[in-house]
Chain A
């Protein structure tokens, strides 16, 4: 698998994953860039992994964690996102992001990797450096926490 092709196919999704993992949108692209460069330097190693995607996500999770511990992370959620002129109803998505913001980083990570990045339990476990059983139980609790979120009470699917 060629690095350039991978980036072309996955970069946008990785940036969104980073945001859902808790990166500020402005930082997410930098974080993904950093993660991808780390992968680039070891691309042979990445492509030899059982699941290169899981490997890249693991690097991404670590990079997000690094960024979070290194910089001031005074994320300030706003009620209104900058208007980009789209007519799309973003209220559900924004509610979900608020809900995610209030979750623990552990719960948030399993939800994003399992249900947005579409990693299997095993690959999520690999990406987070956790036993698969832990991922399973943590996912169940995270789903429960998401379902109980105040932010999602008033929104319809």
Chain B
């Protein structure tokens, strides 16, 4: 048999095959998802679950007490004790906590609020430090405390010094049970204590435990941002176009890496894929064995 005859025969055979007309091929959802996405999502969920957002106040002093309450309703424990009560983690007091806002109610009823900076608290130690790394270097005993703001307002501007350094002590004043607080420096400092180690009330709101940065590579942009928010971090998104085939919006890189411990509210940068070439047909090797 020659080739021409074979062609004719095959065409005749093909004529016996009816093929229904087809609508547009449904290609939605067929782009190959990254295989590690599911694993990463599971890991992120665990991290999110571990992300602690604590709202700290001891017992009935959660409401900011008015001046009249303050005088009579003073906690017996010291600030350091109060802090220690909730700071203590599994490894017994070595966990760092960071607060977005710190409110200290003074003996005279004045309230002092700091926000946008972190109070950094470790066990019985209250440290003027920007992060847990600095804290490790610069623990200060609570009685080393610093500036005097007996009238409830930061008085005179503080000498910030270097991060981690003691901020020069203010003068004693008021009724002798004064709260010392400071937060005007670039680095996070919040300290509070009375002269006799008592304080009317201490409130740390939106207290966030130093959290691990979750793994978001392999998630998509919105999922990654949500995961970061759950873990207490802000997210900066940058786009990147690689030679490889990835879905648009897929997170390819993150900085810092997953597992890094950061204070809540820190910003993590992610890089998401953004194909500039269109149409962006992407996927795996079609000759590879099916999943």
Interface residues of A (CB under 8 A from B): 2-4, 7, 11-12, 15-16, 19-20, 25, 28-29, 33, 35-46, 58-59, 62, 66, 81, 84, 88, 90, 92-94, 96-97, 99-100, 111-112, 114-116, 143-144, 146-147, 152, 157
Contact = CB atoms under 8 A, between A and B. Distances in A.
Given A40-B30, A44-B281, A94 B16 contact: yes
A115 B281 contact: no
A40 B27 contact: yes
Contact of A115 (B3, B17, B245, B282): B3
A84 B136 CA distance: 85
B19 A37 contact: no
Contacts of B63: none
A14 B31 CA distance: 22
B5 interface: yes
Given A41-B281, A62-B287, A92 B18 contact: no
A96 to B, nearest CB: 4
Contacts of B13: 20, 93-94, 96-97, 100, 116
Contacts of A41: 30-32, 281-284, 286
Given A37-B27, A116-B13, 14 more contacts: A2-B279, A16-B17, A16-B19, A36-B25, A40-B25, A40-B27, A42-B245, A44-B245, A62-B287, A66-B290, A88-B15, A92-B9, A96-B12, A147-B5
A90 B15 contact: yes
Contacts of A16: 14, 17, 19
Contact of A146 (B9, B24, B279): B9
Contact of A12 (B3, B19, B282, B286): B19
A36 B27 CA distance: 9
A93 B14 contact: yes
B49 interface: no
16 contacts: A3-B281, A16-B19, A20-B10, A35-B286, A42-B285, A43-B279, A81-B16, A90-B16, A92-B12, A93-B16, A96-B9, A114-B3, A116-B11, A116-B13, A143-B6, A146-B1
A152 B7 CA distance: 14
B32 A20 contact: no
B29 to A, nearest CB: 10
Most buried by B among A40, A41, A116: A41
Interface string B265-291: 000000000000001011111110010
Main secondary structure of the interface of A (DSSP, over half): helix
Contacts of B25: 4, 7, 33, 36-37, 40
Nearest to A147: B1
A152 B11 CA distance: 14
Interface of B: 1-3, 5-20, 22, 24-25, 27, 30-32, 245, 279, 281-287, 290
Contacts, number: 121
A78 to B, nearest CB: 12
A11 B284 CA distance: 22
Contacts of B16: 81, 90, 93-94, 97
A115 B20 contact: no
A2 B279 CA distance: 9
A67 to B, nearest CB: 11
Closest 8 CB pairs of A and B: A41-B283, A147-B1, A43-B281, A38-B286, A93-B16, A96-B13, A93-B12, A116-B10
Nearest to B11: A116
Contact of B286 (A42, A84, A96, A99): A42
A40 B281 contact: yes
Given A40-B25, A41-B283, A112 B15 contact: no
B6 A84 contact: no
A12 B22 CA distance: 9
B287 A58 contact: yes
B281 A96 contact: no
A125 B32 CA distance: 28
Contacts of B281: 3, 40-44
